[in-house]
Structure 1
Amino acid sequence: MQITVAGKQVDTGDAIRFHVERGLTTIAEKYFDHALEARVVFSKDRGFFACDINLHAGRNVTMQGHGSGTDAHRAFDEACDHVGKRLRRYRRRVNEHARSRSVQQVVRSSMPHLAAVPMPEMEEDEIDAPTVAAPAVVAEATALRSMSVSQAALELDGDGAPLVMFRHHVSGEVNVVYRRPDGHVGWLDPRA
């Protein structure tokens, strides 16, 4: 990986260069086999150091991180933590997408009567449930619990369900929380 360390009105010595190379190499090797390049820029503002990292980790994969601290090492560590967190989240999404593809293959092989039915290829922003030309309707009966939106969002993350229906603890209306294609949690409130 090619690493460029620059400073805007800040002297970047060998110690900070070594620290940057070691930190970026560690997170790049942890999440990607071969990151392409990284550009690290240090600056100073009102007594604090700022660090901006632009990491080109692969084709169409660019991560950015910003950190600030009382010295350049702390600013870099904070920015490196941001980039590492973003790389970890990106890697998790890629792995989950690959697992959903393998589930589709298992469904096709376990239901030979559906193997002849063409299944359309799914995009990343579509729901990861397998689809067929004429899907079966499956009824599921469950009692709606009374809870807050934040409790329902926690249940959504804990269960791994595509959505959670619940009665809002204040209004008593039926509400839904779901995972949006962009990764955020969506909330459907009939009063709105």
Structure 2
Amino acid sequence: MEIILSGKHYEVSDEIKAAAEQSMRKLAEDYQSQKISSVRLLFTVERNWQIAEVLLNGKNLTLHAKGRTTDMRASLGNAVEKLDKQLRRYLERIQDLSVKADPVAKEKFWTSEELSEAEDDTDLVDA
């Protein structure tokens, strides 16, 4: 997994880098099935707001989250929480949409042997 950190009007400190890498690795471990390929973090400062934006790319997946508080670590935490929530929702939707065999419908299907037997029975009735 590739982690890209950048700052806009903000110098990214080693402490923030370490916290960001740790939280992204934890997120990748929690959702190993999603094959997360890259995470792009952008830290910006606008007036009194410290903003952390996260763009996550994975297999057939692109998610975006943004956290805005007066503390950069808290903004990063908010963005990571939002990403976690988005990933959970995405995985639940995938599981809900998966096709499961209906046992009642499965009993209604005939095998090729049963079909040939039914045809033989109808031939005897017609003669």
- Does residue 103 (structure 1) correspond to residue 101 (structure 2)? The answer is yes
Identity percentage of aligned residues: 25
Give SS of 1:40's match.
Answer: strand
- Does residue 80 (structure 1) correspond to residue 75 (structure 2)? The answer is no
Structure 1 unpaired stretches of 5+ = 117-192
Query: 1:101-159 CA deviation, whole Å, 9 max, x = no partner?
Result: 1234x4443x1x3356xxxxxxxxxxxxxxxxxxxxxxxxxxxxxxxxxxxxxxxxxxx
Distance 1:2 1:91 in 2: 22
Bigger radius of gyration among the two: 2
In the superposition, the TM-score normalised over structure 1's length comes to 0.53
In the superposition, the TM-score normalised over structure 2's length comes to 0.78
More helix by share: 2
Give SS of 1:36's match.
Answer: strand
RMSD: 1.6
Query: How many corresponding residue pairs?
Result: 110
Residue type of the partner of 1:26?
Answer: K
Distance 1:65 1:25 in 2: 16
Of the three residues 110, 114, 117, the one matched with 2:109 is 114
Offset at residue 28 of structure 1 (A): 2.2
Distance 1:6 1:50 in 2: 12
Structure 2 unpaired stretches of 5+ = 112-127
Give SS of 2:101's match.
Answer: helix
Query: 1:163-191 CA deviation, whole Å, 9 max, x = no partner?
Result: xxxxxxxxxxxxxxxxxxxxxxxxxxxxx
